[in-house]
């Protein structure tokens, strides 16, 4: 599936498109099919997100949305070397999910 991600313009926080807005949790990400371009243009113009982009993802065996690239998985959870600072969903996926 194709999902959208970017950073919040004000806070810089990593966000994921959930169909109506931008969530802090990758699990909320929805498949945008072939609508990525329109959504990105509209959302960026509205300054609800900064430098958003479309990525490939799958639903993994545990039912979690899993970005195809390791970089976006690190973004989804936080630095692997500071697990104390992780996004709350890390508790559900575990850190092996990143690598």
Residue from 37, 47, 60, 62 binding other proteins (CB under 8 A)? 47
How far is residue 73's CA from residue 98's CA, in Å, rounded to a whole number?
5
Beta strand 22-23 with 50-59: parallel, antiparallel or unpaired?
A: unpaired
Q: What share of the chain is helix, strand, coil (3-state, %, to 5)?
A: 30, 25, 45
Q: Is 75 in the site for other proteins (CB under 8 A)?
A: yes
Write down the residue that tokens 């194709």 correspond to: 2
**By C-beta, is 19 or 85 nearer to other proteins?**
85
Kindly state the smallest distance separating residue 10's Cβ from other proteins, in Å.
5
Q: Is 33 in the site for other proteins (CB under 8 A)?
A: no
Identify which of 88, 84, 91, 95 has the alpha carbon closest to the alpha carbon of residue 14.
Answer: 88
Residue from 42, 71, 88, 94 binding other proteins (CB under 8 A)? 71
Structure tokens at 93: 């996926």
Residue from 1, 9, 24, 54 binding other proteins (CB under 8 A)? 9
Residues of this chain that interact with other proteins (CB under 8 A) are 7, 9-14, 44, 47, 50-51, 68-71, 74-75, 78-82, 85, 99
């Amino acid at each position: 599936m194709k999902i959208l991600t970017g950073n919040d313009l004000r806070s810089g926080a990593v966000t994921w498109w959930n169909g109506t807005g931008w969530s802090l949790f990758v699990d909320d990400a929805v498949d945008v099919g072939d609508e990525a371009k329109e959504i990105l243009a509209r959302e960026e113009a509205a300054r609800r997100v900064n430098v958003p982009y479309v990525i490939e993802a799958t639903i993994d065996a545990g039912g979690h949305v899993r970005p195809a690239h390791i970089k976006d998985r690190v973004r989804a959870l936080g630095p692997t070397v500071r697990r104390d600072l992780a996004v709350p969903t890390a508790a559900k996926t575990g850190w092996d999910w990143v690598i």
